[in-house]
Structure 1
């Protein structure tokens, strides 16, 4: 019996899950269509799980590192990131909560039943009767709905049965059908007030969809940022290894020259000290890269010990592509941001919400004038004597308006706040666009200068090595040249990565950052610059 009940609960649970999913996804699709004019694929189920399983399977079979492209990285993140899944679930839960509000404006069905038994008991041989033996019970069915006029309509059916078992002579049944309509005539009348709860809940759903899209775009940019940052840390490791190898070669060369008397002993000591410093820096670079990999894997939501790394060819592609010129000037970018930013559109809608709420609280000063119509009938009789109906009109004039007065004043303040929040959001967006524009110009300038600096530093190192062999410069000159080369290489990579990420953030800031269902982006109408 227990197993049967458990099996039934499981089937009911599965059915409830499917119905809840259908309702929530329908609300999300409707909100997407209202917000964007189209619907996007959305599911809180795990996507792209096959890719992770393939990586785990390969990891078990081989020791070589597996390289992840940027596209695979973003797909993995969107499928496995804990924070991304949390935000999707938040949107899903809000869509579910909306169904409870929608229920009040659809036909809401209900059913209930109750039964009570009466009988006799014996005490000290005497019979004590507690009512007639039998069963009293009733079954009630009903449907109700709130109309756009503010009316609340309910229809009910009651079936009552009395003493149905042990006292057949007195047993009986009774049926009743009832209809109740309550229509506000002043306060609470009309769709502005009656539909406000549903209207605001549906608008909040649209806001949530916009907010999730903004989060989704920012999430993709953050994943790309971490991907390129890990590659940048790897590039610094490679540069540091080169520097260490050069330091070892310098130390060997200066020691040979010192033994030959061509340079002084302290210069050989300087070279040895430089080698030790380079070794320490290389150890730190290795540690930094491994920490960056741990952070990278953790952000993706994959096992931290999974032997995967970003593909260094992605950084090479950035270097080959160079910097990218925008097809838009600063003023046009500002206009695009102020017109298209989803969070700014939501702020404007919030002002409308508060204007509407202010009007509702203003109407709340009207007295409560309600018409109440009730009909109760026995469906088994045709006689009009079996139909009870009444129509009443009630008027309630409150003399204590403290709560209504306070609600009205608070609504005024909230409207003022919403307007100020809109103004602040517009200023924040203007500031963000201007700041990102300046950052991009700075990144471009730094990158161009660092590329030139790398070429100059490479020639300087070559020339200094030759001059050192000729005894025309000291070892310190070569060490300084090598340090400058290392710094220039690192700064060039850093400027390129910063420019790439800031370019994505700029497109996002003006609402021109578009991503596909797997998270990869495309940038609109841009042309490359020949460096």
Structure 2
């Protein structure tokens, strides 16, 4: 049995490695192939699983640090997704789909949502790579060479580690087996070891400079985590907007259907009266004409609804051919917070947004990054002074030590000078970008607060308008039956009622979306298991929460 401590026991090696140990060049090649196979026999599936586990652990840690909640993020789409079930025919149609269901479907099937998940995952991979770069780097090299009867087997292990102080530590051990054709049939062994450390003393020795790539990768992941959460909020708001606009269109179709039924009855009544000679043909034709116009509008509305549904399916990532049945979710979402939102005031709304808006936090932190990069660029302008200490030892030899100083004077530093000036420009651009976004948020919040108040007033006005229009229709119908009114008055009343109903639905949708939009602009809109959630403590006094 060959000693496990191979390179420290050359006598044992010579005893055990007989001349026929490697019978020919083929056996030597086989040895190299076997060693290479043992260290490369890793299944791609195992690699992907290992990378995922590390990435998910990093992401869970960062999410908990940022939001206080560990992330259950997974990059893989569901194996048996809803889209796949629909394509396979396992599910024929989607009935009774409310807003929460739409949000869940979008998170699972939306192509855009999946792309954003992949962007987040890539930032985790980038951080994982930088963490690996700052860890110990091991290198194992095994080789076998045969040429002109001379045979060599070489194995070496090296390690490289960059320390936080900027020191670069390199260590290596190696051993060789040699058989020279002219020297007989025996094998000789050689071993060697080396160690070196290089420590920057000036120019680049600062910890901030050494860790800059790792620091930026960590910051990039924080930005991507925030951006993804902000995207989930805005993406869900877009889905809610499309969903409630669909509900509005469905209501408009129903309103037109009711109007058509009423006009059809009126037209039939007038036609019968005209045939009996109790009503002029003009009035009968007026009712018939309005009935035809209503029927045509109904066709257009239904066509528009079908087109709108197809567009919504595309946005959710569903097959176009699936039958989609929507149910009207609560349109009083966060109505109990509306008065608090209206009375919030611009200053308070701005304070909340600057504290809670994740995209704004990214913008302010990007300014800190720009300031740090200026400091890093300043370090590169200094003289460089490195101290290197190294030692080597081989079989039968003494240990050799060496020490050296390397001085790099700050001359011919055009790249460094340009990089420094560029970092100053980038810093000024970061300041402007932060200020611009702050101004944009203030302007947007002013508009959202006005919109919320106006949509509430508009909704109350339309409620009264519908009541009056309904009373007008009932009154004109009674007058028409009693002969005290004409057909034109009845038709005008029905047009007014249809218009008022459609305007009421539109005002209700606008009012709801104004609430959600304002909450989103302040950064308070979150997505939970049951749909939209908000941090009510920011807007509701403690004694009312």
- The TM tier, using the shorter chain, reads 0.7 to 0.9
Paired residue secondary structure (1:325): helix
Sort the Cα spacing of 1:49 and 1:219 in 2 relative to 1 into closer, same or farther, 3 A: farther
Sort the Cα spacing of 1:100 and 1:348 in 2 relative to 1 into closer, same or farther, 3 A: same
Q: Matched residues in 2 for 1:161 and 1:479: separation?
A: 106
After TM superposition, give the deviation of residue 336 of structure 1 in Å.
0.6
After TM superposition, give the deviation of residue 13 of structure 1 in Å.
1.1
Q: Matched residues in 2 for 1:254 and 1:9: separation?
A: 90
Q: Matched residues in 2 for 1:201 and 1:285: separation?
A: 52
Structure 1 residue ranges (4+ consecutive) displaced by more than 4 angstroms after TM superposition? 8-11, 47-61, 164-171, 319-324, 517-520
After TM superposition, give the deviation of residue 288 of structure 1 in Å.
1.7
Name the residue aligned to 1:432: 444
Query: Is residue 38 from structure 1 mapped to residue 69 from structure 2 by the alignment?
Result: yes
Superimposed CA distance per residue, residues 62-109 of structure 1 (whole angstroms, 9 cap, x where no aligned partner): x8x621132222122212221111111110111012111111211111
Worse-matched range after superposition: 267-276 or 326-335: 326-335
Q: Matched residues in 1 for 2:370 and 2:333: separation?
A: 52
Name the residue aligned to 1:16: 47
Query: Is residue 190 from structure 1 mapped to residue 206 from structure 2 by the alignment?
Result: yes
Superimposed CA distance per residue, residues 380-439 of structure 1 (whole angstroms, 9 cap, x where no aligned partner): 55xxx4212211101121421222221111111111111111101111111111111111
Sort the Cα spacing of 1:305 and 1:235 in 2 relative to 1 into closer, same or farther, 3 A: same
TM-score (norm 2): 0.85
TM-score (norm 1): 0.87
What's the Cα RMSD here? 2.8
Sort the Cα spacing of 1:454 and 1:478 in 2 relative to 1 into closer, same or farther, 3 A: same
Contact 2:81–2:109 at 8 Å: present in 1 too? no
Superimposed CA distance per residue, residues 12-37 of structure 1 (whole angstroms, 9 cap, x where no aligned partner): 21211111001211221232233224
Name the residue aligned to 1:325: 338
Query: Is residue 486 from structure 1 mapped to residue 498 from structure 2 by the alignment?
Result: yes
Equivalent of residue 523 in structure 2, options 496, 499, 511: 511
Superimposed CA distance per residue, residues 25-56 of structure 1 (whole angstroms, 9 cap, x where no aligned partner): 12212322332243222112335957778878
Q: Matched residues in 2 for 1:225 and 1:305: separation?
A: 22
Equivalent of residue 367 in structure 2, options 337, 340, 351: 351
Name the residue aligned to 1:268: 284
Superimposed CA distance per residue, residues 353-406 of structure 1 (whole angstroms, 9 cap, x where no aligned partner): 11111111112111121111221113x55xxx4212211101121421222221
Q: Summarize the alignment of residues 519-530 of structure 1 with structure 2, pairs less than 5 Å apart.
A: 519-522=531-534, 524=536
Sort the Cα spacing of 1:235 and 1:137 in 2 relative to 1 into closer, same or farther, 3 A: same
Q: Summarize the alignment of residues 148-227 of structure 1 with structure 2, pairs less than 5 Å apart.
A: 148-163=164-179, 168-169=184-185, 171-227=187-243
Q: Matched residues in 2 for 1:334 and 1:428: separation?
A: 11
Name the residue aligned to 1:240: 256
Q: Matched residues in 1 for 2:388 and 2:408: separation?
A: 13
Q: Summarize the alignment of residues 57-456 of structure 1 with structure 2, pairs less than 5 Å apart.
A: 66-119=95-148, 133-163=149-179, 168-169=184-185, 171-312=187-328, 314=329, 317-318=330-331, 325-328=338-341, 329-330=344-345, 331-378=347-394, 381=396, 385-456=397-468
Paired residue secondary structure (1:386): coil
Contact 1:293–1:309 at 8 Å: present in 2 too? no
Q: Matched residues in 2 for 1:270 and 1:9: separation?
A: 86
Q: Matched residues in 2 for 1:59 and 1:253: separation?
A: 50
Contact 1:214–1:342 at 8 Å: present in 2 too? yes
Sort the Cα spacing of 1:174 and 1:354 in 2 relative to 1 into closer, same or farther, 3 A: same
Name the residue aligned to 1:126: none
Contact 1:59–1:307 at 8 Å: present in 2 too? no
Worse-matched range after superposition: 240-249 or 193-202: 240-249
Q: Matched residues in 1 for 2:447 and 2:40: separation?
A: 58
Worse-matched range after superposition: 366-375 or 463-472: 463-472
Contact 1:182–1:373 at 8 Å: present in 2 too? yes
Paired residue secondary structure (2:253): helix
Contact 2:198–2:389 at 8 Å: present in 1 too? yes
Name the residue aligned to 2:56: 25
After TM superposition, give the deviation of residue 188 of structure 1 in Å.
0.9
Name the residue aligned to 2:9: none
Name the residue aligned to 2:23: none
After TM superposition, give the deviation of residue 194 of structure 1 in Å.
0.4
Name the residue aligned to 2:487: 475
After TM superposition, give the deviation of residue 325 of structure 1 in Å.
2.3
Q: Matched residues in 2 for 1:208 and 1:390: separation?
A: 47
Q: How many residues align?
A: 500
Contact 2:332–2:512 at 8 Å: present in 1 too? no
> Unpaired runs of 5+ in structure 1?
120-132
Paired residue secondary structure (2:202): coil
After TM superposition, give the deviation of residue 281 of structure 1 in Å.
0.7
> Unpaired runs of 5+ in structure 2?
1-35, 541-545
